[in-house]
Amino acid sequence: MCGNEALAEAAIIAGLDAYFGYPITPQNEIPAYMSRRMPEEGRVFVQSESELAAINMVFGASATGKRAMTSSSSPGISLMQEGLSYLAGAELPAVVVNVMRGGPGLGNIAPSQADYFQATRGGGHGDYRTITLAPASVQEMADCMPLAFDLADQYRMTVIVLADGILGQMMEPIVLDKKKRRKLPAKDWALTGATGREQNIVRSLWLGETALENHNYKLQAKYENIQKNEVLCEQYEVDDAEIVVVAYGIAARIVRPAVNKARQAGIKAGWIRPITLWPFPTEQISRAADQMRIFLTVEMSNGQMVEDVKLAVAGKAAVLLYGRPGGGVPTVDEILERIKQLTLPAKR
């Protein structure tokens, strides 16, 4: 299975009620798969007239308590930002998959990681966050879906799965199974028709003095809770390392062999791989920065996550970037060379 299909099937297993989407490369396998499988399961598939409509269809389905998702790629995700802001304001759960491609503008259809800022800073207007998961394999494309739906329902907010064109297209064997699920709160806020209860209202408009300010404090408290409890991160050979490479998603896959080769060459290298990009593993990186001399972030962009690494390191160590923007994919040798340059200046 390719990553896009693995993700789609995993979403169905996770109890997806409705998929809404608009075609865009490199994620077209998702709507194609959903258009076949969702009707087989007696569930909803709609090809929308635009990404704007798709995210609003998600908004509508989610407001009635259903599990809904959409998927797109970078330019389409930009169009959805209005909806993402409203979902945040209205506190509705949603899962949005971004199979990133090169930008800005129409860019190209090559893999990219240039939407990190957009995903982790909210993206639309207003003070809000979206939980952002960064899978790094086809197996993880599948594994992150039940987690994404559970997190969305638990916290009543959008979870973004931030993948890229390689993860979407590449094929790897995977195991699909029903993982243990979280205990989730009842959706007593959902619009199901006012039967034997007062009306439910889903809204993002808060007029009146301090009403919106208080709503924002409530959202902020939720975000702080997530920052405390939901960070996911993987690390390797960090304890004795003089250089730690920080990378996520497909870039982290390329970093692994580079770090192994550096170790073989006698360089004390390790890596940290954020799995949740928001909440960011600030503490893990900060702890590592107490002992480390150098952090190198490797990104398929001109450097976006590097800013979060710098905030976490807080001046305790040097933070450098190796970035390939516009659809460029770093090679193992390029990364190894950069590690050598930074750690063995005298020998060169």
Partner 1 sequence: MKTVFKRTPTLKDCPTHYCPGCGHGIAHRLVAEIIDELGIRSRTIGIAPVGCAVLAYDYLDVDMIEVPHGRPPAVATGMKRTNPDKIIFSYQGDGDLAAIGTAEIIHAAHRGEQITVIFINNAVFGMTGGQMAPTTVLGQVTATTPKGRNRTGEGYPLQISELLAALPGAIYLERCSLHNPAQISKTKKAIKHAFELQIEGAEGLALVEVLSPCPTYWRMTPVKAMEWIEKEMTKVFPLGRLKDVAGE
Q: State the residues that interact with partner 1 by CB under 8 A.
A: 17-18, 20, 44, 46, 48-50, 52-54, 56-64, 66, 68, 82-83, 86, 90, 191-196, 199-205
Q: Which is nearer to partner 1, 194 or 346 (CB)?
A: 194
Q: What are phi and psi of 74, to 5 degrees?
A: -30, -60
Separation between Cα atoms, residue 222 and residue 233, nearest integer Å: 20
CB of 333 to partner 1, least distance (A): 48
Q: How far is the CB of 65 from partner 1 (least distance, A)?
A: 9
Least separation in angstroms between residue 217's CB and partner 1 is: 21
CA of residue 300 relative to chain centroid, distance:
15
Q: Which is nearer to partner 1, 202 or 232 (CB)?
A: 202
Nearer to partner 1, 12 or 267 (CB): 12
DSSP tag of 200:
P
| Smallest distance from partner 1 to CB 125, Å | 11
Cβ–Cβ < 8 Å for 101, 92: no
**69 bridge partner residues:** 19, 95
- Assess contact for 300 and 281: CB atoms under 8 A: no
SS3 (DSSP) at 276 = strand
- Pick the closer one to partner 1 by CB: 202 or 212: 202
Least Å distance, CB 18 to partner 1, is 5
Interacting residues of 213 by C-beta distance below 8 A, sequence separation 6+: none
For partner 1, which is the closer residue by CB, 51 or 115? Answer: 51
Structure token pair of residue 340: 């050598």
Instruction: Give 2's contacts (C-beta < 8 A, 6+ positions apart).
Output: 29, 138, 168, 169, 170, 171
> In which element (H, E) is residue 42 found?
none
Helix pair angle (51-63, 81-90), 10° resolution: 20
Integer angstrom CA distances of residue 324 from 301, 303, 306: 5, 9, 13
In whole angstroms, the minimum distance from the beta carbon of 51 to partner 1 comes to: 11
Q: Is residue 272 within 8 Å of 244, Cβ to Cβ?
A: yes
- The least CB distance from residue 177 to partner 1, in Å, is 26
Choose between 173 and 196: whose C-beta lies nearer to partner 1.
196
Cβ-based nearer residue to partner 1, 4 or 70: 70
Q: Return left, alpha or beta for 258; rule: phi > 0 is left, psi -120 to 50 is alpha, else beta.
A: alpha
Output Rg (C-alpha) for the chain, integer angstroms.
21
Q: How far is the CB of 130 from partner 1 (least distance, A)?
A: 17
By beta-carbon proximity to partner 1, the closer residue of 20 and 155 is: 20
